[in-house]
Amino acid sequence: MKTPLLDYLLFFKPRPGFVVTPIIIDMNVIIFFLMVIAGLGFNEINAADLLALGGNYRPYTMGGQWWRLLTSIFLHGGIAHVGMNMVFLLVIGLFLEPMVGSGRYLVAYLFTGIAAGVGSMLWYSAVSVGASGAIFGLIGVFISMLISPIINWSAAKIVIGIVVVFIVYYYLYGFASGIDNVAHIVGLISGVFIGYLFYPAVKQRRVANQIRHKYGY
């Protein structure tokens, strides 16, 4: 018999059409709790420790350690940081990954996350970590799909509401606490761009799925 806890945990288990999102969430959560177990903190993790683990920092990244643009996406500065990001990633992923396909979804996540890291590196001199730039990138992909006939509006309305909450939260909180809003803006714009590139393939995927459902193969 399923329990509410089991139903909740199933969101973190990969399944057909929803593979990348739970894997990314699991990776982020595991990495964060490994940092906690290592004694680096819980509510807040020191910038020096985040830098040592692969945080994005202009002198190091531009000095040749370009891999930091990738590793920084999977690091977070505290429980609230990782928790909020993973909740919003789950919501957007549940809707977007089945729509665009897991391969394109992963490309969008990594591409926009790295693009956000580049923007952050060029604008700020502080250590930067977190998945929010990539999540804003996925929101950008979602926005590019909103003006297309691909969107199922009955489901999209819920996602739109949560996306608005996400954006408002990060911009209000960001301006108050110095959060990396440049990364969010770059992630969003790059997401819209890559979403338009994906559109023909996503449209073809939708037509193919409709044919399979109609004829049962």
Q: One of 128, 132, 144, 190 is an active-site residue; which one?
A: 132
Whether 154 maps to a domain, the answer reads yes
Here the CATH number for the domain that contains residue 187 is 1.20.1540.10
How do residues 67-89 score in pLDDT, each as one tens digit? Answer: 999 999 999 999 999 998 999 99
3-state percent helix, strand, coil for the chain, nearest multiple of 5: 75, 0, 25
Q: Which domain holds residue 161?
A: 23-215
Question: Which of the pair, 148 or 103, is modelled with greater confidence?
Answer: 103
Whether 31 maps to a domain, the answer reads yes
From residue 27, give the alpha-carbon distance in Å to each of 22, 31, 173: 8, 6, 25
Whether 123 maps to a domain, the answer reads yes
Whether 17 maps to a domain, the answer reads no
Q: One of 81, 144, 184, 190 is an active-site residue; which one?
A: 184
Whether 54 maps to a domain, the answer reads yes
Structure tokens at 11: 């969101």
The residue whose two tokens read 């109609």 is 214
157 pLDDT higher than 90? no
DSSP state of 15: B
What gap in Å lies between CA 54 and CA 1, rounded to an integer? 43
Overall number of domains in the chain: 1
Query: Annotated catalytic, 132?
Result: yes
Q: Which residues pair with 35 in a beta bridge?
A: none
Query: Annotated catalytic, 184?
Result: yes
Q: Indicate the pLDDT class of residue 119, thresholds 50, 70 and 90.
A: very high
Tell me the whole-structure pTM to 2 decimals: 0.88
Whether 74 maps to a domain, the answer reads yes
Check residue 113 and give its pLDDT: 98
What gap in Å lies between CA 89 and CA 155, rounded to an integer? 16
What gap in Å lies between CA 108 and CA 169, rounded to an integer? 23
Whether 13 maps to a domain, the answer reads no
Whether 7 maps to a domain, the answer reads no
How do residues 19-52 score in pLDDT, each as one tens digit? Answer: 999 999 999 999 999 999 999 999 999 999 999 9
What gap in Å lies between CA 12 and CA 87, rounded to an integer? 11
Whether the CB-CB separation of 87 and 103 falls below 8 Å is answered with no
